[in-house]
């Protein structure tokens, strides 16, 4: 690792992260001309804007002012971790980098099917300030602090709009610097993640020679990233049709197909229920869908809210319409699976469950009609005219 380049590598990873938000903004109606929403976790910002109203802009201003305060607090936390809690070098041969704890089991499942990875020691706590601070010596920690100052100083010099975006993105930049430093010192150690092209994967693709990526969702092959990605040692892909999209971003050394069957958990409504895998951008359509289904008959509805999405007050509306709100870490048994366009559809289809996509159906009305037809229930009269306006999706 060339230490002098560490802050710039993190900066490039943050620039690429901003490109994800630019892409989402460009493909989401109503956001392209809304200057009040910064290019930082745009989906969550919409929910926050709706929640805070006129107080949203002051909220963003306060968040920006707190970035350097948060940086100093992180430094003061990690320094004693490196001095007092200094630990022996990790015995793990592969670190699981899961930004969501629910994805740890998916990563372990992929690695367990790989004969070359069996018998290796795994851990899943490397992505914490406490652990990274204890793994690095005090010299490395102080170097990361200096790099953090250089990174923030560089961001403050760029143009206003982009500066706001990248300052918000830099909230966890110190942890990224620590991780990059650690990966550079252990260049051949394995890292396994379900992150496709977010900052963690971008950084590790340059800092590690042994990055493993497990596909967990759809891939957008049309994102205009500002900086190139590095290498992936092994890509565990769900279907060959996604290989080209991954290869457009990374240099991939080895590809392995990975098709796990989820463990569907029984619930009292399993035999007859419609399960909706919710996402915040599509919650209005989901609410409409549930109301149409309920109007057509006594159909139990299970809802699971996306654990990584920031919802507004409409979450309570959808929850009140459901018969059962499923925990984040459970895949519930059901008769019908519905989402706007969730990758979970692949899992349920593999288990023999009938699946529907609101986006491919042409909206909530068409999806409701198709589900009610499948369940041999009448379509609500007030929406009958919609049934003939578009072709409906057939059951998968």
Domain extent listing, the chain: 1-89+135-178, 91-125+187-260, 264-388
385: pLDDT strictly greater than 50: no
Quickly state the pLDDT bin for 378 (edges 50, 70, 90): low
Please state the rounded mean pLDDT for residues 4-14.
92
C-alpha 178, offset from chain centre? 21
How many Cβ atoms from other residues are within 10 Å of residue 12's Cβ? 20
Specify the pLDDT at position 3: 54
Its pTM surpasses 0.85 = no
Specify the pLDDT at position 376: 85
- Cα separation, 334 vs 264, in Å, equals 8
Quickly state the pLDDT bin for 217 (edges 50, 70, 90): confident
Specify the pLDDT at position 342: 87
Specify the pLDDT at position 390: 31
Q: How does DSSP assign 166-232, residue by residue? A: HHHHGGGHHHHHHHHHHHHHTTTSEEEE--SSSHHHHHHHHH-S-EEEE--S---TT---SS---EE
Specify the pLDDT at position 389: 30
Burial 139-176 (b: 16+ CB within 10 A, else e): ebbebbbebbebbbeebeeeeeeeebbbbbbbebbbbb
Specify the pLDDT at position 46: 80
The mean pLDDT value of the chain amounts to 88
Specify the pLDDT at position 304: 96
Specify the pLDDT at position 30: 55
Specify the pLDDT at position 297: 86
pLDDT tens digits for range 319-343: 999 999 999 888 999 999 999 988 8
pLDDT tens digits for range 16-32: 999 999 998 887 655 55
Specify the pLDDT at position 198: 95
User: Please, are residues 135 and 89 in contact by the beta-carbon 8 Å criterion?
Assistant: yes
Specify the pLDDT at position 354: 95
- Cα separation, 371 vs 393, in Å, equals 9
User: Please, are residues 145 and 75 in contact by the beta-carbon 8 Å criterion?
Assistant: yes
Specify the pLDDT at position 24: 85
Residue scoring higher pLDDT (235 or 216): 235
Specify the pLDDT at position 341: 85
396: pLDDT strictly greater than 70: no
269: pLDDT strictly greater than 50: yes
pLDDT tens digits for range 122-140: 999 999 999 999 999 999 9
Rg of the chain (C-alpha set): 23
Specify the pLDDT at position 388: 29
Quickly state the pLDDT bin for 379 (edges 50, 70, 90): low
Q: Give the whole-number percent of the chain exceeding pLDDT 90.
A: 65
Specify the pLDDT at position 31: 58
Specify the pLDDT at position 391: 31
Specify the pLDDT at position 120: 80
Domain 264-388 class in CATH = alpha beta
- Cα separation, 391 vs 393, in Å, equals 7
> Highest-confidence range of 84-93, 170-179, 309-318, by mean pLDDT?
170-179
């Amino acid at each position: 690792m060339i230490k002098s380049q560490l802050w710039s590598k993190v900066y490039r990873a943050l620039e690429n992260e901003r490109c994800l938000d630019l892409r989402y903004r460009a493909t989401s109606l109503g956001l392209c001309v809304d200057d009040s929403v910064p290019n930082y976790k745009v989906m969550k910002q919409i929910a926050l804007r709706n929640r805070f109203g006129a107080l949203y802009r002051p909220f963003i201003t306060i968040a920006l002012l707190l970035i350097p305060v948060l940086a100093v607090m992180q430094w003061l936390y990690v320094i004693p971790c490196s001095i007092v809690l200094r630990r022996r070098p990790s015995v793990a041969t592969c670190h699981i980098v899961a930004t969501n704890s629910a994805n740890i089991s998916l990563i372990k499942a992929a690695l367990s099917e790989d004969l070359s990875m069996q018998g290796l020691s795994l851990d899943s706590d490397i992505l914490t300030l406490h652990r990274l601070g204890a793994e690095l010596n005090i010299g490395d920690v102080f170097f990361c602090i200096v790099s953090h100052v250089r990174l923030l100083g560089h961001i403050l010099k760029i143009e206003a709009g982009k500066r706001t975006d990248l300052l918000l993105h830099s909230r966890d930049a110190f942890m990224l610097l620590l991780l990059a430093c650690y990966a550079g010192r252990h260049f051949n150690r394995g890292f396994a993640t379900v992150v496709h092209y977010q900052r963690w994967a971008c950084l590790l693709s340059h800092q590690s020679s042994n990055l493993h990526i497990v596909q967990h969702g759809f891939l957008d092959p049309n994102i205009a990233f500002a900086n190139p990605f590095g290498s992936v040692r092994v890509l565990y892909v769900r279907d060959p049709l996604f290989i080209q999209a991954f290869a457009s971003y990374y240099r991939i050394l080895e590809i392995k197909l990975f098709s796990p069957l989820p463990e569907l958990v029984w619930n009292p409504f399993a035999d007859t229920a419609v399960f909706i895998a919710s996402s915040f951008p599509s919650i209005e359509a989901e609410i409409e869908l549930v109301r149409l289904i309920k109007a057509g008959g006594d159909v139990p509805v299970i809802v699971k809210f996306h654990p990584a999405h920031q919802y507004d007050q409409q979450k309570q509306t959808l929850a009140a319409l459901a018969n059962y709100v499923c925990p984040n870490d459970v895949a519930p048994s059901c008769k019908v699976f519905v989402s706007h366009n969730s990758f979970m559809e692949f899992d349920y289809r593999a288990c023999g469950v009938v699946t529907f996509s609101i986006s491919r159906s042409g909206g909530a009305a068409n999806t409701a009609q198709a589900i009610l037809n499948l369940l041999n229930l009448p379509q609500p009269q007030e929406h009958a005219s919609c049934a003939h306006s578009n072709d409906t999706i057939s059951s998968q």
